[in-house]
Amino acid sequence: MNKADLVQIIIQQLEDKLHVAHASTQRAIDAATDEETVPEHKYDTLALEASYLAHGQAMRVQEVKKSFVSTVLLSYVTLSMLVSRLVLMWN
């Protein structure tokens, strides 16, 4: 396995993780805004808990996006450095 294969595997795993995080966020948002989560009394905190969960899931999506962008940029920089070295070697 070479470096490019490893980078592709990492990118694929991050894409999968991002898809799961998006789906989880949407489910949490749906639960927080569902008519059945409207508090029935002052101690009913289901909607509040669901909104905290939705916020946490949205933050998770942002973290995965940052990881994805960092990985792609790092692989691009590494690839461009490799190409530069190859060009220098052939000249």
- pLDDT per position as a tens digit, 13-39: 888 998 999 999 999 999 888 888 788
Percent of the chain whose pLDDT exceeds 90 = 26
- Rounded distance, CA 76 to CA 12, Å? 15
The structural domains of the chain, with segments of one domain joined by +, span 3-90
Residues lower than pLDDT 70 in the chain:
77-91
**Dihedral angle computed from the Cα positions of residues 14, 19, 24 and 29, in that order, rounded to the nearest 10 degrees:** 120
Predicted local confidence at residue 42, as pLDDT: 81
Which DSSP symbol is given to 8?
H
Residue 19, CA distances (Å) to 16, 25, 33, 48, 70 in order: 5, 10, 21, 25, 17
pTM: 0.70
